[in-house]
């Protein structure tokens, strides 16, 4: 488990002024990684090429420009030449990121991530001797076009939100909402990595086979019950070999960090196709993630004891391979999760987005991230750097904590009324969904995951 160090000091301030704002998602205590393109800033810079940066306030520290400053002697080699236990130097780590390949850096393991975090924290702190050299390496986030933060080779979506599983189960099986295996095994399915898109990418309403209960045969047409799912995504940092499993006590060393995830869902398509093998076209048309990967180290101040949510029937316990003292003591993260909706009419009238729900991860999840990694590899599956593990919809116990419209509208039977008088049971064309998440508690600097947003386009 990650321990706190000087990088988490709530009194630490940056010479990047916007990083010191109380409401920023990206203070110096965060330092998440992202991939972006931006205009050229000089003859040494290739316009439009992907590069890795660190979010700091409203700015991005461009690590390609940092490398150039180091190579040309514009920046002193402050702390960059000392070898680590692995024989690498901080200069080597920056070089791998300057090439625009976050996967290569992630594969170096947690020691490299922690070492670079410590250097970046000191370099961006007030009074740093590198301020003059690194100031020209900053870009405004507004000038950057964000890309997927890494190459996602595979995607698995779990079903850890027990309140969501129970609510959805009640819609289809009122007398038996949770199937017998739910409390024992982390349920998941293998999703489609190729249709994962970065926040801000429009999402086109999918076509699919539809069969209303009263129809004798299915038809093909646009989805009429388009929904969102509020999730977190865990990014794998280091791989395990095929045929091996990752013990629970080692699982978090294989995680790089977290993103927000909206696993868009075509509920009417899903209702017809999901049995007997589970989601297919209802889930493979788009999944949106936030652009910044917040590292496990940045999240360390928000660790808390893992206690399963109270649920009918109680907790039967956990099989030994999924149980451990450290996981129980600090395997959960106390993050607030929020969903906002802005319709096309609200946008045209200049109305702010409407909050649909707000909840906490600790009140939603039946399994921890470490348990997901361990179970995924139980049979010898080889996870690889960049693989994405979705948590599943994280709904809290209250009616205003639901992570999907399927729950908020009671399966479409109870429309939501918005401030301008519009109603919604499911998403309409022109609607924009925005997910947010942040950690905040006394004595700790607030950090956020940034926004995860997408606007619905009409079916093709």
Question: Which structure tokens are listed for 271?
Answer: 């209702």
Assess contact for 69 and 133: CB atoms under 8 A.
yes
pLDDT (tens digit per residue) in 392-440:
999 999 989 999 999 999 999 999 999 999 999 999 999 999 999 999 9
Q: To which residue do tokens 């348990």 refer?
A: 371
Q: Is 190 one of the annotated active-site residues of the chain?
A: no
pLDDT at 42: 60
Q: Which of 350, 339, 357, 340 is nearest to 420 (CA)?
A: 350
Burial 170-193 (b: 16+ CB within 10 A, else e): bbeeeeebbeeebbeebbbbebbb
What is the C-alpha to C-alpha distance for residues 99 and 67, in angstroms, rounded to an integer? 10
Written as tens digits, the pLDDT of the chain (460 aa) is 557 999 999 999 999 999 999 999 999 999 999 999 988 766 566 667 889 999 999 999 999 999 888 776 665 555 555 555 555 677 788 888 998 999 999 999 998 999 999 999 999 999 999 999 999 999 999 999 999 999 999 999 999 999 999 998 888 788 888 888 999 999 999 999 999 999 999 999 999 999 988 999 999 999 999 999 999 999 999 999 999 999 999 999 999 999 999 999 999 999 999 888 888 999 999 999 999 999 999 999 999 999 999 888 899 999 999 999 999 999 999 999 999 999 999 999 999 999 999 999 999 999 999 999 999 999 999 999 999 999 999 999 998 999 999 999 999 999 999 999 999 999 999 999 999 999 999 999 999 999 999 999 999 9
Q: What are the DSSP calls for 69-90, one per residue?
A: HHHTTSS--TTTS-B-TTS-BH
Backbone angles phi, psi at 71, to 5 degrees: -65, -35
What is the C-alpha to C-alpha distance for residues 51 and 36, in angstroms, rounded to an integer? 6
- Rounded to the nearest 5 degrees, what angle is found at the Cα of 239, between the Cα atoms of 155 and 35? 60
For residue 263, what are the contacts with CB-CB under 8 A and spacing of at least 6?
Answer: 157, 191, 228, 229, 231, 283, 287, 390, 393
What Cα–Cα distance (Å) separates residue 71 from each residue in 85, 97, 122, 325, 340? 23, 14, 20, 47, 45
Residue in 164, 254, 375, 376 annotated catalytic: 164
pLDDT (tens digit per residue) in 201-226:
999 999 999 998 899 999 999 999 99
What is the C-alpha to C-alpha distance for residues 286 and 284, in angstroms, rounded to an integer? 6
Assess contact for 103 and 151: CB atoms under 8 A.
yes
Q: What are the DSSP calls for 361-418, one per residue?
A: GGGTBSS-HHHHHHHHTTT-----TT-EEE------SSGGG-SSHHHHTTTTTSPEEP
Burial 348-371 (b: 16+ CB within 10 A, else e): eeeeebbebbebbbbbbbbbbbbb
Q: Which structural domains are found in the chain, ordered by start? A: 6-147 (2.30.30.230), 155-457 (3.90.850.10)
Q: What is the length of the chain?
A: 460
């Amino acid at each position: 488990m990650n321990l706190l160090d000087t990088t988490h000091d709530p009194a630490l301030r940056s010479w990047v002024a916007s990083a010191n704002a109380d409401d920023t998602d990206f203070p110096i205590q965060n330092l998440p990684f992202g991939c972006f393109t931006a205009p050229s800033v000089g003859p040494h810079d290739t316009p439009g090429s992907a590069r890795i940066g660190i979010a700091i306030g409203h700015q991005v520290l461009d690590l390609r420009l940092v490398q150039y400053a180091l190579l040309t002697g514009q920046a002193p080699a402050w702390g960059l030449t000392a070898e680590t236990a692995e024989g690498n130097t901080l200069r080597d780590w920056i070089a791998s990121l300057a090439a625009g390949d976050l996967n290569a850096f992630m594969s170096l393991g947690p020691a490299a991530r922690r070492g670079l975090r410590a250097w970046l924290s000191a370099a961006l702190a007030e009074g740093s001797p590198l301020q003059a050299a690194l100031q020209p390496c900053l870009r405004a986030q507004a000038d950057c076009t964000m890309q997927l933060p890494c190459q996602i080779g595979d995607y698995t979506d779990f079903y850890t939100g027990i309140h969501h599983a129970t609510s959805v189960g009640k819609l289809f099986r009122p007398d038996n909402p949770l199937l017998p295996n739910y409390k024992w095994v982390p349920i998941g399915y293998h999703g489609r990595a190729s249709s994962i898109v970065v926040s801000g990418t429009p999402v086109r309403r999918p076509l699919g086979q539809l069969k209303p209960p009263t129809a004798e045969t299915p038809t093909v047409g646009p989805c009429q019950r388009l929904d969102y799912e509020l999730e977190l995504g865990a990014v794998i940092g280091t791989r395990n070999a095929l045929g091996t499993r990752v013990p629970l006590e080692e699982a978090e060393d294989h995680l790089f960090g977290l993103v927000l995830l909206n696993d868009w869902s075509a509920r009417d398509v899903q209702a017809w196709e999901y049995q007997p093998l589970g989601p297919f076209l209802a889930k493979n048309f788009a999944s949106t993630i936030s652009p910044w990967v917040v590292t496990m180290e940045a999240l360390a101040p928000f660790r808390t004891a893992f206690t399963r949510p109270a649920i009918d029937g109680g907790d039967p316990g956990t099989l030994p391979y999924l149980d451990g003292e450290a996981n129980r003591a600090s395997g959960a993260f106390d993050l607030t999760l929020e969903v906002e909706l802005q319709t096309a009419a609200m946008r045209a009238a200049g109305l702010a987005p409407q909050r649909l729900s707000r909840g906490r991860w600790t009140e939603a999840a039946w399994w921890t991230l470490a348990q997901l990694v361990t179970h995924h590899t139980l049979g010898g599956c080889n996870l690889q750097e960049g693989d994405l593990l979705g948590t599943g919809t994280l709904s809290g116990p209250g009616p205003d904590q639901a992570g999907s419209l399927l729950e908020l509208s009671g399966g479409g039977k109870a429309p939501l009324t918005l401030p301008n008088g519009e109603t919604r049971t499911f998403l309409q064309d022109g609607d924009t969904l925005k997910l947010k998440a942040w950690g905040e508690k006394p004595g700790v600097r607030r950090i956020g995951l940034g926004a995860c947003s997408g606007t619905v386009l009409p079916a093709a």
